[in-house]
Each structure stands twice: as C-alpha cells, then as structure tokens.
Structure 1
Amino acid sequence: MASVHPRKNRDGEITSYQVKWRNGGGRGGDPQSESFKDETAAEFFKDAVNDAGQHWPPGWVKGRGFIVPGAGADEERYRFRNYAKRAIDHRTGIEERYRGACHGELERWIYPHFGECDVRSTEHFSTDTIRAWVRYLEQAKVFSGQRPKVGEPKWRPMSPKTIRNLHGLLSSILQEAVTAEPPLRGRNPCERTRLPRIDDHGADDDEDIEFLTPQEVAGLRASFTSLQDQLMVDVAYGTGLRYSELTALAPKSLLIEAGMHPRLRVSRAWKRDEEGQYYIGKPKTKRSRRVIRISASVRAALDELQDLGSLGPDDLYFTGDKGQRLHYSTFGNHWHRAIRRAKKAGLLPVYKHPTPHDLRHSHAAALISAGHGPTYVQRRLGHESIKTTSDLYGHLLPEADDDAMETIEAAMAGTRRPRLHAVPDALTG
C-alpha cells in the first residue's frame, strides 16, 4: 500500500511530503515515489495510487500531475486551475469577500486533486473521480479557528455542509464548461454524486448546536466578570441576533415610539472587504434586514449600556477596550473563561461546550418551546428560507406533535369526529 512520508530539513521542519509505494504492490516491485508541497495533495495521490492497484494513476505525469498528453501552450487555458481562476474572477453579482473565499477553498481542497486536470476530459472529471474526491473529504480532518500556540487543535471530521459547499463550488465551475459557447463538456459529472446528508453528522461534528436552558444562560451570565459581557449575553440571548449584527448595534438602532412596544432595527452588520478589512454594511440577505420587538429586559440592558458609556446615537453598544470593533476572538476568550467558571461552579453541565452563536440557537429554542411557530422564528432570526429554520429547529417541536396526536386520537375515538359531508352522485360517477 502507498504511504505518505513527511520530509524535514535540518531544523526538523517539514518541507514536503513524499508518497512511496512499490509498483504493483509486491515486494519485488520497483520502488516509486512522488513529492508534494502539502499533505492534502499527498494524501489524495496516495489514495489514487491505491485505487490504481499500486500503479501510477492513469493520466498522471510525474512531477506535474494529471496532464493531457500533447497539450500545447494554447491548451493551458483548459487546465482546471487556470479555468477555475478565470471563472471565479469573472463572476458577477458576488461580494469580493466571497470571491476570495472561493479562491481559498479551491487552493486548499480542489486544486490538490484536480488542479492539473483538463476541464474537458471525461477521464479526469468523471462520476468515479468526483466520488473518490468526495470520499476523501468525508475522511478529512479539520479544525475550527486559529491553530493554538500550544498543543494540537481539536481535529474533527469535515461537516456534511462543508462537503456540500465544496462540491457545489466544483460543480458550478464544471457547469460553466458545459454551458460554454461552444460547450467544452457534454455533461456535469457532479450531478450524479450522492452527498452526505446534513443531518448525518455525529457528536463530534463542527456543525453541532448546543442548546442552553434559561437557567444555564443565567449561570453562564453570572460567570462573566465584565458588566459589558454580561449585558451582551442578555441582548444576544434576548434577541437571537448574529454576532456581526449584535456588535454593529448603536442607540439609533433602538426604536422608541409613543404607543408602540420597543423594537430594534437590524439594518447593519460587520463585514469584510476584499482586503480583509472590517466595515459596517448591510446584513447578508434581505431577510436579515428586519425590525424585531424586544422585551423589557433587553431594553433595560441597552439602556444600561448607553448610560455606562454615555453613548451618542451612532456609538456602538459593544466595543473593545479602546472603543474599536469588538473582535470575536476577544469576546471568545472571555466566553471560554466564563464557561470554565460556570462548569466549576456547577452552573453548566460539563458535557456541554456552547459557543457564543449558541445563544442565538437557544433564543430560537425558547421561542419554539413556548409554542411559537417556525414562520415567526424564521422572520425574527432573519433566515432567508423557512427550510433553514425547519432544518435547524424542527426537532424542537414536541408540543406540536402532542397536539397533533391528541387531535387525531380524539377524531378516531369519536369524541370530536367531524361530520362527513355527503358526496353528490354526479361526482362519484
């Protein structure tokens, strides 16, 4: 079997990865090897060698990758790496931040596998090669956030949602080859791929949602040492806002009108431009731009924040020590320390590992447990599609199931059986 071997310099730093195997797999087979700059590409090539029966994968040229024999300089535009870059660069109607993210995902997860392939080739891009790539993604290990300065990060399987997003990116580029004038391909091989279901992930998946009870939220709040952090928990849990929306709130976002309940206008959110710089813009979708009613506790928290900082209409409620944007990592550090204190004090179960975003999920859970329907929750949270709301929180509707079963049982038992109307003979034939 082929295997991957890190290669180190004199300082012990890994500089490349070498895949080694014996031709044909037997002990007497000639030793073979191929070198790669990153481990992802090496692992993919190792799997390709194993799939080829311990031979060089068909179409692979040593030191170059999958290359169509005889391709001239004019053919370079059909090399997937070049074709995909142009396709993303020329897309319209997308934000520059998203364009940059697409290039990053291509570099990390798609080019190591298909970068040197010919976008026209039915051998390079086939149902089998796409399935092999998806299978590789299912076995890949990833971690969230930045790599810790000490120790190893918490590695987890890639989430089904991420796999679907990567597959969708590849599929969209191959579809452009199908619809090109003239067409470069007859069909899109991604169309026949069976992808992992969103709800197939297990307990270690990075898409996990940790729902907190009101008592757990109160215990967590009490474990913060900063009053601003405590008030931030109040507003986050009381509104269900996303972090980017929450930290863009200003006193002018609070709507106070005679004869009306207090409301919040959610019309701003922190975003990034193509250079990675933060700025305040509109929330990501039309549904995200909304006006929501707030409770007396949230109103009191906002009033206290305004008095605490003597804020003007345009000043932010939540800021860093010097009045700048409150970085997620800064609040995240405070959050993790509060989590440890809450668990130590018995205010939060040791098996729960919530993130700040789980306050949004817990807000939705509180609404649903009180009998509010998915449509109301969708509009309040700013979900673009009710399917998102249903997929995330549909399992939190036991009361709806109970009511439905009581209705059906009562009807079947005859206690409230509806009277059936006679059907005219003309309709029964």
Structure 2
Amino acid sequence: MASIVERPKKDGSITYQVRWRDGGGRGGSIQTENFGDLPPAEQFRDLVNAHGQHWPHGWVRGQGFVEEKPIPGDQPLLDFAYRYVKRLTGVDKRTRDDYERELRLHLSRIAHTTAAGLVVPATVCNVVADDIVDWVRLQEDGLKDPEKPGEWLYRKADPKSIRNRHGLAFCVFQAAAEADPPLRATNPCKGTNLPRVDNEVDEEMCFLEREEFEFIRDQIKDPDAVDMVDWLVSTGMRWGEASALQVRDLTLDGDRPTARVVRAWKKAEKGSEGGAFYLGPPKTKKARRTLRLSPSQVEMLRRRTAGLGDRAFVFQTVMGKHWRHANFYNRKWAPAVKEAMTKGLSKRPRLHDLRHTHVAWLIAARMPLPKIQTRLGHESISTTVDRYGHLLEGLDDEISDVVEAMLSVPVQQRLRVVRGA
C-alpha cells in the first residue's frame, strides 16, 4: 500500500512524499511523488491504492493530471451511433428498431472518465478501454435506487444481453475507426473481458419428458390450442414462425408432404407505423427452411385448413385471427401449466421450452446435431452445440461400448472393416 513520508527541508518546511512499490509486490520498483501540502498527498496516495499500486492513468510525474484537449472533428457518441444504425443495409425494420432501442437504453450509459477522475459525456474519440469496462460492470452490477430500497434505477443484465450490447458498441467504434478519414485510431471494445454465457444455459431451458408434455396437454380444453402446442413440440418452430404459418406454405399432397418457414411475426418499435406486430422474414437466412411432415401432422393440417384460402393462417382463434403470444400464453398455456403443477408437475415450462423439448426428443432418438441444426434453422452448428451439446452426454456409455467392441476385434479384422474389405 502507498504511504506518506514527511521530508523536512533545511528552511524548516516539510514536504510530503508518497511512496509505493510498483504493482504492490516486493519485487516492484519503488515509485515516489512529492507534494508541498498534506491534503493533495493524501488524495494522490488514495489514487495509487485505487489503481493497484500503479501510477494513475493520465498523471504526469511532477505535473499532475494533464487536461484533455478537444479533438478536432469529435462528436457525441450517440449521434454517430444513430447515424451508423440508420445506414445499415441488409437488416429488416424490426432489427433496426431493436438496435436503436439498445442505443437509447444502454449504449447511452457509456461515459468517459477523464484523467482527473471527472465523468463526462462519451464522444466518438474520448472513450477508452477502461470506459467500456466500467460500462460492462454497470450492466453486471446494476444500479440500485438509493431512495427506494429494493428498487433499481438500472437493472442487472444477463451475460447474453451484455455480450449483444457490447457487440453493437464494437461495430459502432469499428465504423468510426474505418471512416474516411478515420475518427479514431483504435476500437476501445477490443479485448474486453465479457461475462460467460454457458453457465446459464441449463437454468434457462426446461426440457419435458413425453409424459410431462402429455400431462400439460391434457389440461388444455380448447382443441385449437391443443393443435398449436402439438405443432410447436413436434416441429421445434419458434412461436413467431408457427403463428405466421399460412395455408400456401403447406404441401400436403404427394410422397413428401412439407411445411415451409418463409415468414415470422416481428414486433415493431413502440410508436412506429404499422402497429405493434408485422409479418417479416424469419430470424436468419437459414431460418428459411422446409420441414418434412409426418402422417399425423398431415392429418391435423388437412383438418385445420379445409375450406381456407391460401393466405389464411393455419392456426387461428375461434374468431379466425392468428394467435398472439401473450393471449395464447395467458389464456391457454399458463393456466394449463398451473393446473398440472397443482397435480404434481415439478416444472414450469415456457412456450419456447417446447422448442427445446423437441430437440431433446430428437437427441434421445440419436438424431445427429447437423440435422437438428437444419431443422431448427440455426445459422451456425456452434449455436446448436452450445445450447444442446450437453444432452449428448447421455450417449457416452453407448459410445464407450462401441469403442470397447472395436478394440476387442483382432487387428487384421479391424483393418478389413475400416478398408471395406
């Protein structure tokens, strides 16, 4: 820890020397800074301790903190970020609205701490890596309301949200660095140590055994709602995809009946034109996919689509409208889950957990992950592995049995099998 040593002078006055070992270890070199009065020496000592026994950022020995000078062409960070988002190409309106909401609610909390410890608004040029670290920690810790115990001024964020917001900030600063002429030399988001997301996967997902799903299904009295949950768990479709399915997306005749995923419901930014929801493309390019149907699915779809026009929704309410997630969840799914729990069910699944349950059943049936990736519409196989790879652990015993059986075969016979002899 830094300490203060009094150093008397020949004229009888006293100077105050702050001393510490660089980094705090015994092997660190001794560093000193001198002051004519005790209060500034104490403040500097506290700064050294706060910086892990290193020189405070921006402090020049013998001069103190050097005032930061305005950078020509600099501009508020949010102004540049909004222009960056508005000029993005290849994204739909919903995605652009989401980005602008992230800017308004979260990237707006990025601030710059000057060398003198003063917090000032963030600009394109003044933000440094330490400012990004402070922003990430704010999201991890949240900000409690000092006047209202138990309430938050800014709630904690989960690791996935923090990573998504950091990714957006990275793109904004990268655009500034690659501008012509460049607005800054480096990207302050590079190298940020972000929270891991893999520890939360198991907690977020809920997998139902077939008996558990049937138990919940039995509590649903509306036949239309039963058809919807059957479809969700048997296809693994996202809610926005299933509720947007139209008659024209189905091919029920022939040897290979199919359902095509070509659109999904999107939620618009509040206050935007066109209402709260609109039909748009699926989540990603690979989310556009074609699913092979089973005979029981074909039978259900024929019953549901009899007499309907091509653009009619396959899954409708009794009023002939498409199902909205909130209405379906609150009126059909949540009451059924609650009733099942009063009768002994130990889980509280969300509607989206029917997608996870679909995957669990496929893995239990030994379906390869690449095929599951295609069926779910994941953009990358890594997404499938990250979310569901842990379910493959149940196959470890069978794999080890196969390896043991192979090793028990004589070498020459093993070689013939490998070579196809």
Asked whether the two chains share a fold, i.e. TM above 0.5, the reply is yes
Q: Give the superposition deviation at 1:337.
A: 0.9
2: CA distance, partners of 1:292 / 1:391 = 23
Give the number of aligned pairs.
340
SS of the aligned residue for 1:270 comes to strand
Verify the 8 A CA contact 2:224 2:317 in the aligned structure 1. Answer: no
Verify the 8 A CA contact 1:234 1:301 in the aligned structure 2. Answer: no
TM-score (normalised: structure 2): 0.72
Taking the TM superposition and a 5 Å limit, the aligned residue runs for 1:147-226 are: 158-201=157-200, 208-226=204-222
State whether structure 2 residue 360 is matched by structure 1 residue 386. Answer: no
Equivalent in the alignment of 1:38: none
Taking the TM superposition and a 5 Å limit, the aligned residue runs for 1:83-102 are: 83-102=80-99
- What do residues 264-314 of structure 1 show as CA deviations (whole Å, max 9, x unaligned)? 12222223456263333332322111211122232232233235xx43332
- What do residues 186-232 of structure 1 show as CA deviations (whole Å, max 9, x unaligned)? 2112111111222023776xxx0111111111111111121111111
Letter in structure 2 aligned against 1:105: E
Question: 2:123 pairs with 118, 125, 134, which one?
Answer: 118
Verify the 8 A CA contact 1:238 1:295 in the aligned structure 2. Answer: no
2: CA distance, partners of 1:368 / 1:402 = 15
SS of the aligned residue for 2:253 comes to coil
SS of the aligned residue for 2:259 comes to strand
Question: 1:270 pairs with 265, 268, 272, which one?
Answer: 265
Letter in structure 2 aligned against 1:342: A
% identical aligned pairs: 37
Verify the 8 A CA contact 1:235 1:301 in the aligned structure 2. Answer: no
SS of the aligned residue for 1:119 comes to coil
> In 2 relative to 1, CA 195–251 (structure 1 residues): closer, same or farther, beyond 3 Å?
same
2: CA distance, partners of 1:248 / 1:289 = 13
Deviates more, 1:233-242 or 1:94-103: 94-103
1: CA distance, partners of 2:143 / 2:387 = 24
Verify the 8 A CA contact 1:288 1:383 in the aligned structure 2. Answer: yes
Letter in structure 2 aligned against 1:379: T
Question: 1:319 pairs with 306, 313, 316, which one?
Answer: 316
2: CA distance, partners of 1:136 / 1:243 = 33
2: CA distance, partners of 1:322 / 1:419 = 65
Q: Give the superposition deviation at 1:159.
A: 2.2
Q: Give the superposition deviation at 1:119.
A: 1.6
Letter in structure 1 aligned against 2:100: H
Equivalent in the alignment of 1:40: none
2: CA distance, partners of 1:320 / 1:52 = 62
Q: Give the superposition deviation at 1:389.
A: 1.0
> In 2 relative to 1, CA 342–397 (structure 1 residues): closer, same or farther, beyond 3 Å?
same
1: CA distance, partners of 2:411 / 2:365 = 26
2: CA distance, partners of 1:315 / 1:416 = 63
Equivalent in the alignment of 1:9: none
Structure 2 residue runs of 5 or longer lacking an equivalent are 1-38, 40-48, 59-66, 113-120, 145-150, 417-421
SS of the aligned residue for 2:286 comes to coil
> In 2 relative to 1, CA 202–139 (structure 1 residues): closer, same or farther, beyond 3 Å?
farther
2: CA distance, partners of 1:273 / 1:192 = 33
Letter in structure 2 aligned against 1:107: R
Taking the TM superposition and a 5 Å limit, the aligned residue runs for 1:410-425 are: 410-413=405-408
Letter in structure 2 aligned against 1:370: A
Letter in structure 1 aligned against 2:340: A
1: CA distance, partners of 2:101 / 2:50 = 28
1: CA distance, partners of 2:201 / 2:257 = 41
Bigger CA radius of gyration: 2
2: CA distance, partners of 1:263 / 1:336 = 30
- What do residues 297-352 of structure 1 show as CA deviations (whole Å, max 9, x unaligned)? 32232233235xx4333211223453333211001102111110111122x22xx2
- What do residues 57-85 of structure 1 show as CA deviations (whole Å, max 9, x unaligned)? 999xxxxxxxx96759x85x611122212
Equivalent in the alignment of 2:137: 135
> In 2 relative to 1, CA 304–344 (structure 1 residues): closer, same or farther, beyond 3 Å?
farther
2: CA distance, partners of 1:379 / 1:407 = 27
Q: Give the superposition deviation at 1:411.
A: 4.2
2: CA distance, partners of 1:356 / 1:407 = 37
SS of the aligned residue for 1:302 comes to helix
Verify the 8 A CA contact 1:161 1:198 in the aligned structure 2. Answer: yes
Equivalent in the alignment of 1:403: 398
Equivalent in the alignment of 2:18: none
Q: Give the superposition deviation at 1:141.
A: 8.5
Verify the 8 A CA contact 1:267 1:290 in the aligned structure 2. Answer: yes
Equivalent in the alignment of 2:227: 231
> In 2 relative to 1, CA 226–129 (structure 1 residues): closer, same or farther, beyond 3 Å?
same
Q: Give the superposition deviation at 1:111.
A: 0.8
SS of the aligned residue for 1:279 comes to strand
- What do residues 107-135 of structure 1 show as CA deviations (whole Å, max 9, x unaligned)? 211212339212212xx322x22222212
Equivalent in the alignment of 1:82: 79
- What do residues 379-398 of structure 1 show as CA deviations (whole Å, max 9, x unaligned)? 11111111111111111113
> In 2 relative to 1, CA 250–420 (structure 1 residues): closer, same or farther, beyond 3 Å?
closer
SS of the aligned residue for 2:110 comes to helix
Letter in structure 1 aligned against 2:216: L
